[in-house]
Amino acid sequence: MCLSIPARIVQIENNTAKAEVGGLLREISIDLCPEVAVGEYVLIHAGFAIQRVDEKEAGETLELLKQLAEAI
Amino acid sequence: MKFIDEFRDKEIAQGLIQRIRAISSRPIQLMEVCGTHTVAFFRYGIRGMLPAHVRLISGPGCPVCVTPNRDIDLAVALSRRKGLIIAIFGDMMRVPGSTSSLQKEKAEGGDIRIITSSLEALQIARENPGKEVVFFAIGFETTSPTIAVALLQSKREHIRNLYFLNSQKRIPSTIRTLLQAERIQIDGFILPGHVSTIIGSEPYQFISSEFNLPAVITGFEPLDILQGVWMLARQIEEKRASLEIQYKRVVHEKGNPVAISKIDEAFERDGALWRGLGWIPDSGYGFREALKDRDARNLEVEVEPSKEHPGCLCGEILQGIKAPTDCSLFKRGCSPENPIGPCMVSLEGTCATYFKYL
């Protein structure tokens, strides 16, 4: 029920955006993420963008994971 | 897909499992309170990869499962009202109430429509001005801001025929209630990543500060979960109790302030009735004064007295006290095709997940 998936914003018109998920375009509300820009990734849940995905943090997490896995 | 595939890397996963094995020396029980985590543990085979002494237990992690019969019975009664449309998230259709379900009512001719977004409920109301429309609004904090947006929009547009059957729940107070009950040994919490994208980390501070337990806000891909388990195991071994965030790419200390402000504008904190857990103070939302005229509970309708199936253990399973395999009905009369309790209905219900993967 709390499932959310990352999607890339490709077009914004007022408080609605088109977002790409696995090659498909979906129309979503950006009422909860009004600052989002085209090209950014957001988490979508129940037809809404609920949070922007921070690419820098994602990269840092992955880097840490790689280090953890290698050092053992 | 970006932000998914890279968090499913098998080699890194193997390394993390070795890390967990290396650091964790004694039996521990970790509770997750999110059905999406329950499913992910099984789907990715994480239970089987972890050392046997790391036990994962499921808490009250699915809004469908914790919706009390009282509210399902009310929705059933409303669906029998002439000219009334029920808008509902798909998972709720098959949940049995005391004597019926919305699926049965639809088969009997009830106008019940499955929606995937609260904005579709608004649209149904706009398109059917002569009918009453009731949106069965369930969800944890992940979903609540989307419900708030629809509620506020209905007021702004003067849509008079849309009502909300509000059965939303808040997670932090429920964790407090589980801890206060002391009915189960919990050594750490795997906290729900998507609820936390909205509310942030602050509302969980009490877990470490008052109950001296470690807690990690965790994402849902295999590497996220393994890292979350490792972070908990490390805290336990180091005898620390902190609140940490694993899922940093979408969870911030303050959450999503815009979403929180929408919830605050539409709702005030209130107690809520949970299946299996009873009435929990401060665990739900009530309508703000200016929006109370949109409360579906004001619609007059006769509701049957609610009752539970006597053999069903959903209530105890939702508290982590019992596992589905402890229930005499599990696979013996209760299955996803013929569910007796809600934990067997919801795609993320603990019983349905055990049924599918065990």
What does the domain layout of chain A look like in residue ranges? Answer: 5-70
CA distance linking residue B214 with residue B240, whole number of Å: 7
One of 3.40.50.11740, 3.40.50.720, 3.40.50.300, 3.40.50.10490 is the CATH number of B1-309, namely 3.40.50.11740
What does the block give as tokens for B159?
A: 């849509």
**Coil vs helix vs strand at B30:** strand
Q: Report the chain B residue with the minimal C-alpha distance to residue A49.
A: B146
Residues 58-77 of B with CB under 8 A from A: 62-64
Q: Report the chain B residue with the minimal C-alpha distance to residue A55.
A: B249
CB contact under 8 A, B143 and A58: no
Best of A50, A52, A66 to disrupt the B interface (most B CBs within 10 Å) is A50
Angle at B357 between CA B319 and CA B25, to 5 degrees: 65
Q: How confident is the model at residue A57 (pLDDT cuts 50, 70, 90)?
A: very high
Nearest-neighbour CA in chain A from B123: distance (Å): 13
CB contact under 8 A, B249 and A8: no
B64 exposed, middle or buried (CB, 10 Å; 0-12, 13-18, 19+)?
buried
CB contact under 8 A, B256 and A47: no
Decide: B217 and B56 in contact? Cβ < 8 Å.
no
Q: In what order do the strands lie in the sheet with B243-245?
A: B54-58, B28-32, B188-192, B215-218, B243-245
Q: Which residue has the tokens 């993390």?
A: B16
**Coil vs helix vs strand at B266:** helix
CA distance linking residue B218 with residue B46, whole number of Å: 14
- Give the number of other CB atoms < 10 A from CB of residue B132: 19
Best of A35, A56, A65 to disrupt the B interface (most B CBs within 10 Å) is A65
Per-residue pLDDT of chain B (358 residues; tens, 9 = 90+): 899 999 999 999 999 999 999 999 899 999 999 999 999 999 999 989 999 999 999 998 889 999 999 999 999 999 999 999 999 999 899 899 999 999 999 999 999 999 999 999 999 999 999 999 999 999 999 999 999 999 999 999 999 999 999 999 999 999 999 999 988 899 999 999 999 999 999 999 999 999 999 999 999 999 999 999 999 999 999 999 999 999 999 999 999 999 999 999 999 999 999 988 899 999 999 999 999 999 999 999 999 999 888 899 998 999 999 999 999 999 999 999 889 998 998 888 999 999 999 8
Q: Report the chain A residue with the minimal C-alpha distance to residue B192.
A: A2
Whether chain A has a CB inside 8 Å of the CB on B250: the answer is: yes
- pLDDT tens column, B139-171: 999 999 999 999 999 999 999 999 999 999 999
Return the domain boundaries, chain B: 1-309, 314-357
- pLDDT tens column, A12-33: 999 999 999 988 999 999 999 9
**Element holding B178 (H helix, E strand):** helix B172-181
CA distance linking residue B191 with residue B273, whole number of Å: 22
B357 exposed, middle or buried (CB, 10 Å; 0-12, 13-18, 19+)?
middle
3-state secondary structure chain A: CCCCEEEEEEEEECCEEEEEECCEEEEEECCCCCCCCCCCEEEEECCEEEEECCHHHHHHHHHHHHHHHHCC
CB contact under 8 A, B197 and A51: yes
Angle at B103 between CA B98 and CA B106, to 5 degrees: 115
CB contact under 8 A, A2 and B118: no
**Coil vs helix vs strand at B215:** strand
CB contact under 8 A, A72 and B256: no
Residues 6+ apart with CB under 8 A from B221: B4, B7, B8, B40
Angle at B150 between CA B145 and CA B152, to 5 degrees: 90
CB contact under 8 A, A22 and B1: yes
- B140 → closest Cβ in A2, A32, A69: A2
CB contact under 8 A, B16 and A50: no
What does the block give as tokens for B19?
A: 């890390």
Characterize B171-185 residue by residue with b for buried, 16 or more Cβ atoms within 10 angstroms of its Cβ, and e for exposed. Answer: bbbbbbbbbeeeebe
The verdict on domain A5-70 having CATH code 2.30.30.140 is yes
